[in-house]
Amino acid sequence: MQVLRQGLTYLNVTRSGRRRAEDAARVVDQIGGPDRLVHDVARRELTLRSLQPERRLALEMAVDERAEVQELERQWREAEEIAEIADGTLSTSEQVEEELRRPSETEPGRSTVRLNFGLPQPPGGHYLRCSMAAPLVQITLPPPASEPQRKPPWLKVKAPGGATYVAVKHMMRDLKLHTVCEEAHCPNIGECWEHKAATFMILGDVCTRNCAYCAVAHGTPVALDVGEPVRLAEAVAQMGLRHVVITSVDRDDLPNGGAEIFAACIVEIRRRLPETSIEVLIPDFKGNPTALRIVVDAKPDILNHNLETIERLYRIARPGGRYPRALELLRRAKELDAGLLTKSGIICGLGEDWDELLGAMRDVRGQGVDILTLGQYLRPSDQHLPIARWYTPDEFAELKRFGLALGYRHVESGPLVRSSYHAWEQVEAARA
């Protein structure tokens, strides 16, 4: 009886959450199914944060994956089994097995959906069917599973923690520096830091924009730190880097978006380590030509601005940016300095079609860009855009072949590739 009371108490507490999920599922059905809902949001160029709570939950349910659905069905069958044993309907293990072998009465093509809150079991027992009186909500799932819960084996990486990694981390804290490796939850942080390679993130760790795929914190940033370039150059000297990558958060609150700090970092590093090559991964500066000129005039070896995704998904994934603006920045950088190596990157798996991805690669190459990076999108949290698909290593190899055929000097393409992944090798390959 104590277990029964615990189960009833738990399910009563979660009943309001279940009702919200049921309302959201009805929204999905009213619109015409999950595919229609996802396309409707994309067509109207809405962001997740602009949706009402019910519609946002409906969108999350629409892209929920088949694996989680199957897991909930398994738990439900377990609960029914225990309940029937408790009621005396089943009394032996043979009867239990026979009952579980019976064909499901669920309609073809329909399945229960996993609710967006956990269902921990009360101590000492399972959920009892008599306590779960409300019917399960059913929606029609899209033909392809939208986001498998488990990462494919080619995305498994060793957890960071070597001696060099720890030393680099302590140095970053001592010098009050930030890295995009940490802020963006990069999967390659262990490998890169063990090789004493890091991508420094200047202008603070709070971004004025809120891209739906990015793990960097957003909000109101702190005041500009004019001493940051000196500390960054000191860190580069301590690490003895032959190639350094500098990026930043977006600082739309500053007149030139922080371009002067980029330039100061380049100057300080050149003064201490003239042989070190410098790569800057810059924001779009809201299309400010003065800001771009300030950075280009500082003479970095590589100027990078990531396109990130296809044009159709820009307002959803990158609401503060503009697809044409990103391309224009890359073109104008080349016009300002024809000898400057330019670079861009595209995230794969946000919902683009294969042909759209190839089209974006053509668009970037059309701006005279020399280096392209392509990598798999990894969802930072359940508050970010879901993963539409996993690209295989063979597909990334095909994208690399296509990119080289377009005329890129170098294409870094793979599941774990990020903008600065093996950046020192990218420079050598592009200059060869």
pLDDT over 60 at 333, yes or no: yes
pLDDT (0 to 100) of residue 240 = 83
Residue 89 CB contacts under 8 Å (≥ 6 apart), including other chains: none
Spatial contact of 232 and 177, defined as CB atoms under 8 Å apart: yes
Q: Which long-range contacts does 159-167 make (Cβ < 8 Å, 24+ apart)? A: 159/190, 160/189, 160/190, 160/193, 160/194, 161/190, 162/190, 162/193, 162/194, 164/193, 164/194, 164/195, 164/196, 165/189, 165/190, 165/193, 165/194
User: For residue 364, what are the domain limits?
Assistant: 153-431
pLDDT (0 to 100) of residue 310 = 97
Residue 49 CB contacts under 8 Å (≥ 6 apart), including other chains: 210, 212
CATH of the domain at 366: 3.20.20.70
Last-in-domain residue among 140, 168, 203? 140
Confidence of residue 400 (pLDDT cuts 50, 70, 90): very high
Q: How many domains does the chain have?
A: 2
pLDDT (0 to 100) of residue 202 = 92
pLDDT (0 to 100) of residue 95 = 52
pLDDT (0 to 100) of residue 186 = 63
Q: Which residue in 411, 376, 389, 427 sits closest to 145, CA to CA?
A: 389
Are residues 130 and 162 located together in one domain of the fold?
no
Taking residues 389-417, report their average pLDDT: 96
pLDDT over 90 at 172, yes or no: no
How far apart CA 245 and CA 278 sit, in angstroms, is 6
Are residues 179 and 111 located together in one domain of the fold?
no
Concatenated DSSP letters of 183-243:
HTT-TTHHHHHHTT--EEEES-S-BSS--TT--S-BSPPPPP-TTHHHHHHHHHHHHT-SE
pLDDT over 90 at 1, yes or no: no
How far apart CA 371 and CA 363 sit, in angstroms, is 13
pLDDT over 70 at 398, yes or no: yes
The answer as to whether 291 is a domain residue is yes
The answer as to whether 330 is a domain residue is yes
255 DSSP assignment:
T
SS3 389: coil
How far apart CA 215 and CA 108 sit, in angstroms, is 39
Last-in-domain residue among 140, 172, 195? 140
Taking residues 187-197, report their average pLDDT: 57
Higher pLDDT, 368 or 105: 368
Segment among 55-64, 128-137, 202-211, 369-378 with least mean pLDDT: 128-137
Percent of the chain with pLDDT over 70: 54
- Summarised one tens digit per residue, pLDDT across range 345-357 is 999 999 999 999 9
Q: Which residue in 280, 290, 169 sits closest to 235, CA to CA?
A: 169
Are residues 89 and 164 located together in one domain of the fold?
no
The answer as to whether 147 is a domain residue is no
How far apart CA 253 and CA 221 sit, in angstroms, is 8
How far apart CA 408 and CA 366 sit, in angstroms, is 10
- Summarised one tens digit per residue, pLDDT across range 355-387 is 999 999 999 999 999 999 999 998 988 899 999
Spatial contact of 393 and 349, defined as CB atoms under 8 Å apart: no
Segment among 125-139, 194-208, 256-270, 397-411 with least mean pLDDT: 125-139
- Summarised one tens digit per residue, pLDDT across range 271-329 is 999 999 999 999 999 999 999 999 999 999 999 999 999 999 999 999 999 999 999 99
Taking residues 11-30, report their average pLDDT: 61
Pair of tokens at residue 237: 């000297």
The answer as to whether 148 is a domain residue is no
- Summarised one tens digit per residue, pLDDT across range 107-146 is 443 333 333 434 444 444 433 333 344 444 444 444 444 4
Last-in-domain residue among 140, 173, 194? 140
Pair of tokens at residue 203: 């202008």
Higher pLDDT, 95 or 167: 167
